[in-house]
Structure 1
Amino acid sequence: MLSRLSATLLLLFWIELSAAAPAHAFWLWTSQKGKFERSGEAAEATAAGQFRWAQELFQKGDFEKAAQEFAKVAKRFPKSKEAMEALYFKGVSQEEMGDEYEAYQSYQEVVNRYPETQRVGEIVDRQFRIGNYFLTKEEKKVAGVTVPILPGLDRAKALEVFEHVSANAPYGPHAVEALSSIGHIHFDDEKYTLSIRAFEELVKDFPASEKAEEAEFMISNAAFRLAEQSGHDAAGMGAALDKLEGFLEKYPESKWKGEAEGLLLAVNEKMAEEEFNIAAFYEKQNYFSSAEVYYKNVSEKFPGTTWALMAEEKLKEIDAPLLKGGAQ
């Protein structure tokens, strides 16, 4: 009799729970706790209910499950007021799990889908932190084993993240650092045109920032590397020369003064070499007067270079043919 009564009460309890639960939820008996608990796989019937369930998991520290449940809110109820918050907390859950790139993508999805979000500041803060993580980390754990990271792969991720930081908040607190990082990453990857573009944007938008001086040095540095990359073309070297001279004039006491002077000397050496070779060509053709003009240019325009010293010696050598009326 007692057994039948217990069974009846248990059945009534189950019916009551089922009626109170959302349409897609179900309950399981846990022998350890001696009570019914809602299944972690349950799908709530409303956005608010689904969001609350995901929050419960998040607060318990079950970030993997929480991320899955927050994702369901955004997928099943995309127009609900909870969807935006769900995507944000999906990113936070992923970040807590150490899935930084996935977290960055979730944060960016919030901005893309809900540009009116009030969480832009927090999202940019988190994305900036993730960008720096990819830029500086050297190793990670895979299946419990520490393995080295391929720098190029993480640098590409860092670049992607910083570009979104810059786009999401172009005048925000991380804008200068983001542009500087973008410029340096492109420079390290030998993409000098893109590097110049990023640093020029920094100087234009934030001329009074602490990074402006370094950015101007990097512009001149990248201009020189670009000219080298292009086969030392005269126009490119001339542009690099102008930028380096302009930098040294604007920042005579710069911490990058020594490097800038070294680059300037390298530019002068290359440009002097070009003119010296033209002079040597004319000399070989016995056009001594034309050769003299170019050797003088080398000596006067590029003093201190090895080519200037050689040009001065050449001027002495061609004096005799000129006095004898050699070819002009």
Structure 2
Amino acid sequence: MKRIQLTLLCLICLLGGAAVPAQAFWVWTPETNKWVNPKYAVKDTPKEQFEFAMGFFEAKDYKEAIREFRKLLKNYPRSVEAPDAQFYIGKVFEAEGDLMGAFKHYQKVVDRYPFSERSGDIVQQQYDIAVKMLEGEQQRGMLKEIISGSGPDYDVIEVFRTVIKNAPYGPLAAVSQYKIGLYLMEKGMYPDARDEFEKVINDYPSSEWVKAAQYQIAVADSKRSVDAEY
């Protein structure tokens, strides 16, 4: 009997001891009527939450950075910091080599926060992504897949077209239109490429890319005539 009592006493002590540290990680919040773990709770202000997330980003702890940026977007969707949080999610994807993922997250800033001061930065970031895709510089697996045709078709066109859509009169619009034509030339799609080069001439007549587009039209016509002979 004494042995049983001693065993029970030991169990009670063990359970009681285990409960103490567990309780220390949880706090009751009257606002939500819930127990919350401060480690995973959102900060009191969007500014604090953004700075907290940036700490992870700067330390290259991208998994935690995304978690904290998304926490800000969920809890403070209309804050001044929200567009920046979405922007840095795109930066994380780009840092990890997911160019298309980065492009889509950058675009969310434009779509959800059209008056954000990040708009100019985003157009440049998206253009740079398209150039990397066109040149086959993606670090994780793509290599020359897009130009060779073995990769995901037309992603690069989608990105360039989005650059044009986001800033149709911006400095990157004409060159983006020109590079769409180059991409199609590399794919051997000469009639389509010709159409895209004509858009450079018609839509951006004062652009420095007009002469290059005229030259590429001549090349495309030459390629088409050679193909027709065979």
Fold shared per TM-score above 0.5? yes
**SS of structure 2 residue aligned to 1:172:** coil
Residue 187 of structure 1: aligned partner: 185
Q: Which runs of 4+ in 1 moved over 3 A?
A: 17-20, 22-25, 41-50, 138-142, 190-194, 220-229
Q: Cα deviations across residues 38-86 of structure 1 (Å, max 9, x unaligned)?
A: x3x4444654443332122223332232123212322443333322121
Q: Cα deviations across residues 211-267 of structure 1 (Å, max 9, x unaligned)?
A: 2112012234435556777xx6xxxxxxxxxxxxxxxxxxxxxxxxxxxxxxxxx8x
Residue 90 of structure 1: aligned partner: 89
Residue 107 of structure 1: aligned partner: 106
Residues 57 and 63 in structure 1, CA contact (< 8 A), matched pair in contact too: yes
Q: What amino acid is the match of 1:108? A: Q
Structure 2 residues without counterparts, runs of 5 or longer: 1-19
Relative to structure 1, the CA distance from residue 227 to residue 73 in structure 2 (aligned partners, 3 Å threshold; closer, same or farther) is: farther
Q: Cα deviations across residues 166-211 of structure 1 (Å, max 9, x unaligned)?
A: 1111222222221111111122334344323321221123334332
User: What is the aligned-residue identity percentage?
Assistant: 30
Matches within 5 A, 1:124-143: 124-137=123-136, 140-141=139-140
- CA separation in 1, counterparts of 2:52 and 2:37? 11
Q: 1:161 aligns with which of 143, 159, 162?
A: 159
**SS of structure 2 residue aligned to 1:81:** coil
Q: Cα deviations across residues 129-157 of structure 1 (Å, max 9, x unaligned)?
A: 11111111267346xxxx85523326632
Q: Looking at CA atoms only, which structure, 1 or 2, has the larger radius of gyration?
A: 1
Matches within 5 A, 1:1-328: 18=27, 24-26=36-38, 39=39, 41-44=40-43, 47-137=46-136, 140-141=139-140, 149-151=144-146, 152=149, 153=151, 156-223=154-221
Residues 186 and 192 in structure 1, CA contact (< 8 A), matched pair in contact too: yes
Pairwise CA distance, 1:18: 4.7
Q: Which has the higher contact order (CA 8 A, sep 6+)?
A: 2
**SS of structure 2 residue aligned to 1:117:** coil
TM-score scaled by structure 2?
0.71
- CA separation in 1, counterparts of 2:62 and 2:143? 26
Residues 90 and 102 in structure 2, CA contact (< 8 A), matched pair in contact too: yes
**SS of structure 1 residue aligned to 2:202:** helix
TM-score scaled by structure 1?
0.52
- CA separation in 2, counterparts of 1:161 and 1:19? 47
Q: What amino acid is the match of 1:209? A: S
Q: What amino acid is the match of 1:52? A: E
Aligned-pair RMSD on alpha carbons?
3.5
Pairwise CA distance, 1:110: 0.7
Q: What amino acid is the match of 2:109? A: V
Relative to structure 1, the CA distance from residue 159 to residue 53 in structure 2 (aligned partners, 3 Å threshold; closer, same or farther) is: same
